[in-house]
Amino acid sequence: MATTETTERRRAESPARRRAESPARRRILDTAGALFYAEGIHTVGIDRVIAEAGVAKATFYHHFPSKDELVRAYVQEQSDRVHATTVVRGDTPQERILSVFDDLGDFICGPGFRGCAFVNAAAEYPDPDHPVRRVVAEHRAWFHGILRDLLTEAGRSEADADRTATMLTMLRDGLVVAGDLDDPAATRALAREAVTRLLA
C-alpha cells in the first residue's frame, strides 16, 4: 500500500465519494440546498450561491464542474438525508407503515416546508434522462421498496405488495403536494386514515 494515511482515512470516511469533504464544499452544498429548496433552482444563480456561502468563484468551480453538477449533488444529498433520517418504528408491519406516514405528516407541517424537493426539482428538469431525474427516480424506487418490503412482511403476495406500495407512494406524493399547496395541518390530519383505507 503506497497511499498515505490521510488518503486512507479520507477514503474510509466517505467510501462512495471520490472527493473528500472540505469546509468550502460543505458550505456551498448547504447554501445551495437551502436556496434551491426555498426559491427554486433556475431562479437562484451561481453568483448568489457563492456570495452567501462566502466562497470564491474559483473555489466553487474547483469543486463542481458546472451548476448542473451542483444541482445533481443537491438532489442527491436530499435523498441521502432522507435515507439517513428515515427510521421505521412500530411492532406490526401496519404500524411500521403508518410510522413512515406519520413522519411525512410532521415533515409537511414543519417550518420551511416548501413541497417535495424531488417533485420540485423534476418540475424544472423535464428531460427524463437528465442526471437530476435519475436521482429522483432512484429515490422513488427506494421509497417504494421500503413499503413493498413492509407489505410483504405483512403477509401479502408479491404482486399485491407491489401494487399497494405503488398506491401508497402515490399517496406520499399527494401528501407533499397538498401539504405545500393546501393546508399542511389538514393534510396531515388525513394521512393515517388515507393509509388505512388504501391498506384495506
CB of residue 42 to its own copies, shortest distance in Å: 4
**Taking Cα atoms as reference points, which of 172, 177, 104, 110 lies closest to residue 141?**
172
Residue carrying the nine cell digits 448568489: 48
Can you give the binding site for DNA, defined by CB under 7 A?
4-6, 20, 22-25, 45-48, 54-59, 61-63, 65-68
Alpha helices by DSSP H, listed for the chain, are: 5-13, 23-39, 46-53, 57-63, 67-85, 93-109, 117-124, 131-153, 158-181, 184-199
Binding mask 20-59 for its own copies (x = CB under 8 A): ------------------xxx-xx----------------
For its own copies, the closer of residues 27 and 140 by Cβ is 140
| DSSP symbol at 3 | S
Output 63 or 163, the one with its CB closest to its own copies: 163
169 contacts which partner out of its own copies, DNA, none, CB within 5 to 8 A by kind?
A: its own copies
Q: Which residues contact 114 (CB under 8 A, 6 or more apart)?
A: 37, 38, 120, 180
Least distance CB 118 / DNA (angstroms): 20
Contact 96, 89 (CB under 8 A): yes
What SS3 state is found at 74?
helix
By CB under 8 A, the count of residues binding its own copies is: 42
**C-alpha–C-alpha distance, residues 184 and 200, integer Å:** 25
CB of 50 to DNA, least distance (A): 8
Tell me which residues touch its own copies (CB under 8 A): 38-40, 42-43, 114-115, 118-120, 122-126, 133, 136-137, 140, 163, 166-167, 169-175, 177-178, 180-182, 186-187, 190, 193-194, 197-198, 200
